[in-house]
Amino acid sequence: MTYENLIASMEVNAEKSIAELVQKARHEAEEIMRSAEAKADTIRAAYLENAQKLAESERNRLTYKVKAENKMEIIKEKDAVIQQAFFDAKKSLESFRDDASYKENFRKMFKEAVSELEGERVILHVDARDQMLSGQVLDELGWNAEVVGDLTSEGGLAVTSKDGKLLVSNTIESRLNNVKELLKREIFSTLFGD
């Protein structure tokens, strides 16, 4: 083999080896690219899933917040309606004293109040407009009690023990306030169907 043949043979072998190395490198590069694309797809999918979870969580948080705010507004509106209903009721009671049955109602309110103090000597607190009426009721019932016109009310009375330690208020306003909390739920149900 001549020197030129040897060199030509080496060149052919070198080119063949280079071609194999290039082919192997291409295959490895393609495999690296496929692997990188698969990893990128996995990372993109994980990122997208995480972003969707965060968006869902934020949507749920905002939905809950809006519902809570709406619920508070509804409660405020319902309470305003209830307050107005009781205001109107109180307003309509301003003529309670003018009703023909007021004397009988006053008598009943007096009996209820003094029954709470069970035989105590009492002081009767009334609106100045009811002083004469309270004297008549006391006479009719055979009661001897001090009457003081120091109350401001649309009707009714308050009774205290002589020592002032016990108080029973039986005015239209106190009755309305007592009934207010008891009836609030029923009125809500009637007005709003809740």
Say if residue 108's pLDDT is above 90: yes
CA proximity to 105, closest of 86, 142, 130, 85? 130
Q: What is the pLDDT of residue 1?
A: 60
CA proximity to 15, closest of 7, 97, 178? 7
Residues 106 and 74: their CA atoms lie apart, in Å, by: 39
pLDDT, tens digit, 9 for 90 and up, residues 140-189:
998 888 999 999 999 999 999 888 888 999 999 898 888 877 777 777 67
Residues 132 and 140: their CA atoms lie apart, in Å, by: 13
Confidence of residue 43 (pLDDT cuts 50, 70, 90): confident
Say if residue 128's pLDDT is above 90: yes
Higher pLDDT, residue 94 or 136: 136
3-state secondary structure of 78: helix
| Sign of torsion over alpha carbons 122, 123, 125, 130 | positive
Instruction: State the chain's mean pLDDT as an integer.
Output: 84
Which residues sit opposite 147 in a β-bridge? 124
Continuous segment of H or E residues that includes residue 166: none
Q: Are 166 and 120 spatial neighbours (Cβ–Cβ below 8 Å)?
A: yes
List all residues 6 or more positions away from 129 whose beta carbon is below 8 Å from its beta carbon: 97
Q: Residue ranges of the domains in the chain? A: 1-98, 100-192
The CATH number of 100-192 is 3.30.2320.30
Position 178: which residue type? Answer: N
